[in-house]
């Protein structure tokens, strides 16, 4: 089975800190995605990457950046954490091309900014 692993299940950070959320997939997928999930808002796309060092903004990129130096790893960076970034963050991956596979999601990181 494809595995998408998010390094932390729960994180508590202080306002103004720089925060790194890590995601690793083990099936050589080209495409990787970062979503945030908030009650009543569903999943909203922050950034995605279609290959190493390639990235595209999603619907809500403000306050975030990403890094993809290796194919298997996609990092989400909160440059200066704020309380309105308290949320559940979900990483996903899928192979390029056919949509027969949909997405495979990690278990999520619940971030609290205090």
Partner 1 sequence: AQSVAQPEDQVNVAEGNPLTVKCTYSVSGNPYLFWYVQYPNRGLQFLLKYITGDNLVKGSYGFEAEFNKSQTSFHLKKPSALVSDSALYFCAVRDPTTGFQKLVFGTGTRLLVSP
Interface residues toward partner 1, by CB under 8 A: 4, 6, 9, 31, 33, 35, 40-45, 48, 50, 56, 58, 90, 92, 99-100, 102-108, 110
Question: Whose Cβ is closer to partner 1: residue 67's or residue 104's?
Answer: 104
- Structural contact between residues 66 and 34, judged by C-beta atoms closer than 8 angstroms: yes
CB of 105 to partner 1, least distance (A): 4
Beta carbons of 66 and 56 less than 8 angstroms apart: no
Q: How far is the CB of 106 from partner 1 (least distance, A)?
A: 5
Beta-carbon neighbour count of residue 95 at 10 Å?
15
- Comparing CB distances to partner 1, the nearer of 14 and 96 is 96
Q: Quick one: three-class SS letters along 9-27?
A: CEEEECCCCCEEEEEEECC
Q: How far is the CB of 16 from partner 1 (least distance, A)?
A: 28
Nearer to partner 1 by C-beta: 17 or 23?
23
How near is the Cβ of 97 to partner 1 at its closest, in Å? 9
- For partner 1, which is the closer residue by CB, 14 or 39? 39
Question: What is the C-alpha separation between 24 and 67, in angstroms, rounded?
Answer: 12
Name the CA dihedral angle for 8, 12, 16, 21, rounded to a multiple of 10 degrees: 10
């Amino acid at each position: 089975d494809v595995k998408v692993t998010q390094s932390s299940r729960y994180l508590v950070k202080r306002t103004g800190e720089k925060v790194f959320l890590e995601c690793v997939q083990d099936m050589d997928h080209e495409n990787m995605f970062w979503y945030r999930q908030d009650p009543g808002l569903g999943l909203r796309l922050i950034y995605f990457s279609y290959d190493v060092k390639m990235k595209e903004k999603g619907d809500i990129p403000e306050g975030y950046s990403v890094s993809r130096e290796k194919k298997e790893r996609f990092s989400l960076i909160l440059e200066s954490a704020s309380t309105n970034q308290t949320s559940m963050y979900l990483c996903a991956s899928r192979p390029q091309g056919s949509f027969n596979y949909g997405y495979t999601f990690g278990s999520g990181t619940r971030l609290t900014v205090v």
